[in-house]
Homo-oligomer: A and B are copies of this chain.
Amino acid sequence: MAFRFPVRIYWEDTDAGGIVFYANYLKFFERARTEWLRSLGVGQHDLKERTGGMFVVSETSVRYLQPARLDDELLVTAELQEAGRASLVIRQRALLQPGGAELAAGTIRIGWVEAATLRPARIPAMILEAMKQ
């Protein structure tokens, strides 16, 4: 079961083609990942303050299938596809509401790093455990 998070389309999200600017789906995907972590009790700002570590995105791969427009409501999903010690692959989709037509889909690889040095490090066990469930 994927985590689901609603995203509304505002003027800021669109471009002169009359549709959502494709780069913005990466923002929508990240909002959903952030809320997924939050729903598991993981706040990223707190985590950075406490552990000195943070997630950084190391790879993104997205297909844009149908455009979204101003005022559209999307449901954005996030689910764990692959879990390593230092990085995770999250599968994500943006679905138009109502109906669920797939607008964009892709995978995002996030790695854990020390915030000060940006060096890769092991993902804290509690996060990994929470996400695997």
Contact = CB atoms under 8 A, between A and B. Distances in A.
B27 A26 contact: no
A54 B23 contact: no
Copies in the complex: 4
Contact of A17 (B11, B22, B60, B62): B11
Interface in A47-78: 48, 54, 56-64, 67, 69-72
Binding site secondary structure of chain A: mixed
A18 interface: yes
Given A45-B69, A62-B60, A18 B21 contact: no
Interface of A: 8, 10-12, 14-19, 21-24, 26-27, 30-31, 34-35, 38, 43-46, 48, 54, 56-64, 67, 69-72, 115, 118
